[in-house]
Amino acid sequence: MATYVLRRALTAVPVLLGITVLTFSMLHFVPGDPVLAMFVESGGATAEQVEAIRERLGLREPLPVQYGRFLLRLLQGDLGRSIWGNHPVTELILERFPPTFQLAVAAMGCAILIGMTLGVMAAIHRGQPLDNLTMLVALLGVSMPSFWLGFLLIYVFAIWLGALPVTSVPGPVGLVLPAATLGFGAAAIIARMVRSSLVEVLQEDYVRTARAKGLGPWSVITHHALRNALIPTVTIVGLQFGGLLAGTVIVESVFARRGLGLLLLQGIQSRDFPVVQGGVLFIATVYVLVNLAVDLLYGYLDPRIRYD
């Protein structure tokens, strides 16, 4: 098991290096002078201000030297300083990440609960009206934009029924609408994957043997079929969690939730490149680590993967 963990961890190293290259290049992808682009909406800047920011960002040096210094600072946990507030980007991210992580975890919990329930029910009632209804709900979840669903939930549960707050507030109540908005699309994808995997597994010989022994339908599903059907589903869950972190940019702006997503949106609007670079790098790194954890979970669900 230790060898398997080490091997999977080593495969994440080149991916993380690739992420650093992409995030470092963001500043240089901007057409024209990126420093002048920061001051477009503010009506321009003096030559001294432009030169000071160029000096702070190290744009006078060759690209390899800039990237080397970027990596060195990154290894020390330094993501630079915000252009407009002059705050350390690392502190801003660490301050804003807990609300975003809470939202992503709550949304993932909703997605797994709803998706697993719909997927299992659809697989059991394959070809019946309940199957068609659950797949219709899944289709709506995949097709509906999260910002539209957020406004719809606000109108129904906050304005019309008055049961939940319009904007996010501290505590579990403030997570209900944002988590439902963020997790509904992921729930639809999980439901479709669980259904297709479970339908396939239910045709296997060992499932027929379990039924022939007199086991009940739920016992066959929970003890024999579902665990093997979860392997492709775990892949989707890992990918969706990374997508949920990225999706907080929209959902947090809809519900005025002060998280990392809203920080990224504000950084993009104000062209604060160090904040955008740091936020994208942080989210991408979390995404890679989550997928690494998913790879390790494969070995628990199916030990044959470790031996291969």
- Give residue for tokens 């066959």: 220
Q: CA of 288: how far to CAs of 10, 163, 294, 305, in Å?
A: 12, 38, 10, 20
Residue 306 has pLDDT above 80, yes or no: no
Segment 125-130 shows an average pLDDT of 83
Distance CA 301, CA 308 (A): 14
Is there a domain that residue 193 lies in? yes
Is there a domain that residue 53 lies in? no
Is there a domain that residue 115 lies in? yes
Distance CA 74, CA 70 (A): 6
Is there a domain that residue 126 lies in? yes
More confident call, 187 vs 86: 187
Residue 262's domain comprises: 90-307
Is there a domain that residue 191 lies in? yes
The DSSP string of 177-194 is HHHHHHHHHHHHHHHHHH
Closest CA to 241 of 177, 176, 197, 189: 189
Report the domain count for the chain. Answer: 1
Distance CA 182, CA 87 (A): 29
Residue 90 has pLDDT above 80, yes or no: yes
pTM greater than 0.95: no
More confident call, 34 vs 68: 68
- Say what percent of the chain tops pLDDT 70: 84
The pLDDT of residue 42 is 56
Distance CA 18, CA 131 (A): 42
pLDDT in tens, 167-199: 767 777 878 888 888 888 888 888 888 888 888
In this structure, what are the phi and psi dihedrals at residue 81, rounded to the nearest 5 degrees?
-125, 150
Residue pair 118/196 in contact (Cβ under 8 Å)? The answer is no
Is there a domain that residue 25 lies in? no
- Which letter does DSSP use for residue 256 in this model? T
Is there a domain that residue 182 lies in? yes
Is there a domain that residue 104 lies in? yes
Say how many C-beta atoms besides its own lie within 10 A of residue 295's C-beta: 20
Q: Say which CATH number the domain at 218 has.
A: 1.10.3720.10
Closest CA to 104 of 282, 254, 252, 288: 252
Residue 102 has pLDDT above 80, yes or no: yes
Q: What is the dihedral of CA 226, 232, 236, 242, to 10 degrees?
A: 110
Where are the strands (E) in 7-151, listed by range?
A: none
